[in-house]
Amino acid sequence: MTSAPNTSTATAPIHAAIAGEALIDLIRRPDGSYLPCLGGALYNLCRALARQGVGTQYLTPLSRDRFGRELAAQLVADGVVLAQPEPVQQVTSLAVVNLDAHGHPDYAFYREGVADRAVSAAGLGDSCTALPALQLVCTGALALDARDTAIYLPWLAAQRAAGCCVVVDANLRPSVMPDLAAYRTAVHAALAHAHIIKASDEDLEHLAVPGGDALARAQHLLAAHPQAHLLALTLGAAGAWLLHRNGAQCFAKEAQPLPVVDTVGAGDSFLAGLLAHLLRQSQAAELASFAQFVDGLTADACQQALRHALASASLCVMEQGCVPPAWEAAQARALAR
């Protein structure tokens, strides 16, 4: 279940801290059996960022069970630093994944009494002040459960106040939330703290954002959260947009259909590629903070980052499960295409 180590980021300064679910995707095969794959949106994002050369810390505890040990081993192999290296007794979350004819996943989650929910606001800590090189923090997906807002919302507010760039990946899973109205409220509460928002066309529909199409809904969502500087809208095979508060709008799409194996982890790889490219641009610009750089993004900088993000997602969908590409592979594809 693990892949070859990538130790290039093992000694890198920590520029990103990630909090959110780590789980096992049980992906149904054509013969009816299930293939266990390491997963979880924020877990995937951690791995994908590290593989793209970003020093990354994972803040959420992992289980002492076999799955938890494998999740931890893969993070370490990819160069991710574990903020809580001691495992906890709670079991690992499971997601049963059924794929349709186009490789799109449908999920059923098992998350009661699990390790990735055995986290507290105190456990997340004050990442932005504890890690001197930290530029961004990110959460989203299942961490936006209304039952966990007392953990994540104060943490997001504190990180933003401390000067970190806050990234929130909406990545909604309404089928597993007991109260959809409360879930939508919790998601919007998290987005209110974000400098960067990532959402798919499906996320905008689940949030009941008004608008005649996905782009109009994304524009409405950005307007509804005035503290956000940048919104990434993913449309699956139809491409992706970047919308900036300064009015810049960029679009990118693959020129030819891809040989899709499945789309597990595609959005996570997209976000990692986007953040990795923006972080490199920020370091070259030598501004005081990453948040300041994002606030002043130019249309050209947005377009370059978007192409790299799309290339990262494209490489992922051509593999089974979430196999995030390295920086070099994503950059080579972005330049070639």
Q: How confident is the model over 27-81, as pLDDT tens digits?
A: 888 898 998 989 999 999 999 999 999 999 999 999 999 999 999 999 999 999 9
User: Which residue, 216, 212, 323, 328, is CA-closest to 264?
Assistant: 323
Q: Which residues contact 85 (CB under 8 A, 6 or more apart)?
A: 72
**β-sheet bridge partners, residue 82:** 58
Mean pLDDT of 78-101: 91
**β-sheet bridge partners, residue 93:** 23
DSSP class of 109: E
Strands 93-99 and 81-82, bridge-based pairing: unpaired
Structure tokens at 155: 């943490």
Q: CA-CA distance, 74 to 70, in Å (whole number)?
A: 6
Q: CA-CA distance, 272 to 329, in Å (whole number)?
A: 13
Q: CA-CA distance, 68 to 115, in Å (whole number)?
A: 8
Q: Which amino acid appears at position 182 of this protein?
A: A
- The string of pLDDT tens digits covering residues 182-238 is 999 999 999 999 999 999 999 999 999 999 999 999 999 999 999 999 999 999 999
Q: CA-CA distance, 167 to 217, in Å (whole number)?
A: 19
Structure confidence at residue 103 (pLDDT): 63
Percent of the chain with pLDDT over 90: 77
Q: Share the mean pLDDT of the chain.
A: 92
pTM given for the model: 0.93
Q: CA-CA distance, 47 to 35, in Å (whole number)?
A: 20
User: Which residue, 119, 116, 127, 184, is CA-closest to 157?
Assistant: 127
Query: Cα-atom radius of gyration of the chain, to the nearest Å?
Result: 18
Structure confidence at residue 1 (pLDDT): 47
Q: Is the pLDDT of residue 152 over 70?
A: yes
Structure confidence at residue 127 (pLDDT): 80
DSSP class of 141: G
DSSP-based helix, strand, coil % in the chain, nearest 5: 45, 20, 35
Q: Which residue has the higher pLDDT, 231 or 98?
A: 231
Q: Is the pLDDT of residue 8 over 60?
A: no
Q: What region does 329 belong to: left with phi over 0, alpha with psi -120 to 50, or beta?
A: alpha
User: Which residue, 113, 56, 106, is CA-closest to 83?
Assistant: 56
